[in-house]
Amino acid sequence: MAEYLYLFRGSHQQLSPEQMQQHMQKWSTWIAELSKRGQFKAGDPLEEGGKQVRGRKKAVTDGPFAEAKDLVGGYLIVNSGSLDEATELARGCPILEVDGGVEVRPIRKM
């Protein structure tokens, strides 16, 4: 099995505390199912803020910024037999229910 990275690009949908609790339960259930099948390897949400280092001058700026449309909010690493299978697994991700997105990327072994 190969490894795939899921990058979760967040939604800006506001949820009530009750909705957030239900949404987080869906995440727990989805990850537990992946774990039970031996497909979950690692993953975590990301804290807000951070720094970016860019270009030849290695300029450091604050960011990413919450207003950024494609802000990455977390990641998972999963085991899967193919990119198509990993993509199909990603269709079960709860972020899709709040209009977020999942980028599925194969991890190249070095």
- What CATH code is carried by the domain that includes residue 84? 3.30.70.1060
Residue 59: domain span: 2-106
Question: Model-level pTM greater than 0.85?
Answer: yes
Contact (Cβ atoms closer than 8 angstroms) between residue 102 and residue 36: no
- Number of domains the chain contains: 1
The pLDDT tens digits along the chain (110 residues) read 999 999 998 776 788 999 999 999 999 999 999 999 999 999 999 888 888 898 999 999 887 765 556 788 899 999 999 999 999 999 999 999 998 999 999 999 99
What pLDDT shows up at residue 29?
98
